[in-house]
Amino acid sequence: MGSLEEAIKQKEFKDPYNKLVVNLLYTHSYLVSAQNKILKPFDLSPEQFNVLRILRGQNGVPTTVSSIQDRMLNKMSNASRLVDKLKIKQLVERRECPADRRQVDIVITDKGLKLLSDCQTYMEGFNNEVVKLSEDEAILMSNLLDKLRG
């Protein structure tokens, strides 16, 4: 992939902070594009994949659309629309909440779990291939990103 300067054909940056922000945005775009390629054969977007992972993490316990929205990586995503698309694909179910009939609970289906499992193998391979860091460097990078977000 090379340096950021080569990739975007820019010789220098105003300061290291500006370069870091541009580098993070560029890297985000690179990762999302690569994820899209992996998920396309499964007819999933990265956002749909994220919803399925959230629901799998519930271990069969139903959750609400607003709870899914709170946990999504991309806060600008429309969780309700994503759930509707996953429902059409029979990857999730909507259930009336027994405690509050106005509330709708969402749960992943067996078909959704199977598809997620199939995708996961490719995604893990992708992560290992694309992250050209040692395990210690990956931990440090994650910690630095947490610090950056404050």
For residue 82, count CB atoms less than 10 angstroms from its CB and return exposed for 0-12, middle for 13-18, buried for 19 or more: buried
Q: What is the pLDDT of residue 117?
A: 93
| pTM for the predicted model, two decimal places | 0.85
How far is it, in rounded angstroms, from Cα 69 to Cα 64?
A: 9
Per the listing, tokens 């990739």 go with 7
Q: Which domains does the chain have, with CATH numbers?
A: 8-130 (1.10.10.10)
Average pLDDT over residues 106-114: 96
**Which 3 state secondary structure label does DSSP give 142?**
helix
The CA-atom distances, in angstroms, between 56 and each of 110, 138, 140 are: 10, 25, 27
Instruction: Decide if pLDDT at 102 tops 80.
Output: no
8-49 per-position pLDDT tens digit: 888 888 899 999 999 999 999 999 998 999 999 999 999 999
